[in-house]
């Protein structure tokens, strides 16, 4: 099923169901991009982007930081949500009200009316950066969806089933796209193919992805 939110021309947002429970709101974040970027500047000043280590000791290609009551970290002990940024030893920056509003509005539009995120992970991809196939299962309550906002350079997102070797589908995520993953889609394997260098007029030579979660 594929229907438009507004009966207008091509840059208007439209809704696509990728998988039962996985809703792609094309261009939904476009009106909010400048506000989001200003908020990100302030977050980066408090908790800078950095490369974390995998439990195996390798450096993760994607740079990340977090805002909200807890942030996702990774080190030799594994992945977990913490109330303090291990780099600054201070609390993560609070989640901007505009962030929360965008995420909960997108969730509501997708059928998840009680989404209450306590964490937003901010991922930055430079050209040639990829994210290997994985599941997001470090959160306490899988009935809460995950909402992801893509900004800047496009990326090919891949998603499969509940088994690592299930058949994969691909979808390009573009500037302003918002994806809501809930219900039967919440535990699907997913990843991001190597991002191509394709500078974006407003965001530059990077792709930024915000993922909103209920972690605790
Ligand atoms: C499907 N990030 O941070 S966002 C991640 O573009 C992550 O940075 C990717 O996967 C990125 O964990 C993908 C889309 C996404 C996020 C969470 C999901 C898809 C998901 C959770 C379950 C299923
Ligand atoms: Fe993920």
Mutational test site, ligand 1, from 21, 119, 142, 148, max ligand atoms within 8 Å of CB? 148
Q: How far apart are the first and last CA of the chain?
A: 33
3-state helix/strand/coil string of 170-205: EEEECCCCEEEECHHHCCCCEEECCCCCCCECCCEC
The predicted model gives 152-178 an average pLDDT of 98
Extents of the domains making up the chain: 2-213
- pLDDT for the residue 7: 47
**Residue owning the nearest CA to atom 12 of ligand 1:** 136
Residue 12: pLDDT band with limits 50, 70, 90: confident
Question: Given 3.40.50.720, 3.30.428.10, 2.60.120.590, 3.40.720.10, which CATH number is that of 2-213?
Answer: 2.60.120.590
At 5, is the pLDDT very low, low, confident or very high (cuts 50, 70, 90)?
Answer: low
pTM: 0.95
């Amino acid at each position: 099923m594929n229907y438009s939110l507004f009966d207008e021309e091509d840059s208007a947002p439209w809704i696509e169901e990728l998988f039962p429970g996985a809703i792609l709101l094309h261009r939904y974040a476009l009106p909010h991009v400048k506000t989001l970027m200003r908020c990100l500047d302030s977050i980066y000043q408090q908790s800078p982007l950095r490369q974390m280590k995998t439990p195996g000791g390798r450096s993760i290609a994607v740079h990340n930081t977090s805002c909200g009551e807890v942030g996702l970290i990774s080190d030799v002990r594994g992945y977990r949500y913490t109330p303090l940024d291990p780099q600054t030893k201070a609390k993560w920056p609070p989640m901007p009200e505009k962030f929360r509003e965008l995420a909960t509005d997108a969730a509501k539009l997708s059928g998840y009316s009680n989404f209450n995120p306590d964490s937003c992970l901010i991922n930055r991809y430079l050209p040639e950066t990829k994210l290997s196939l994985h599941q997001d299962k470090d959160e306490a309550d899988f009935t809460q969806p995950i909402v992801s906002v893509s900004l800047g350079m496009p990326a090919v997102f891949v998603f499969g089933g509940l088994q690592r070797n299930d058949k994969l589908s691909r979808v390009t995520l573009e500037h302003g796209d918002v994806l809501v993953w809930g219900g039967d889609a919440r535990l699907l394997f997913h990843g991001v193919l190597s991002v191509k260098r394709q500078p974006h007029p407003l965001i530059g030579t990077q792709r930024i992805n915000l993922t909103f979660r209920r972690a605790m």
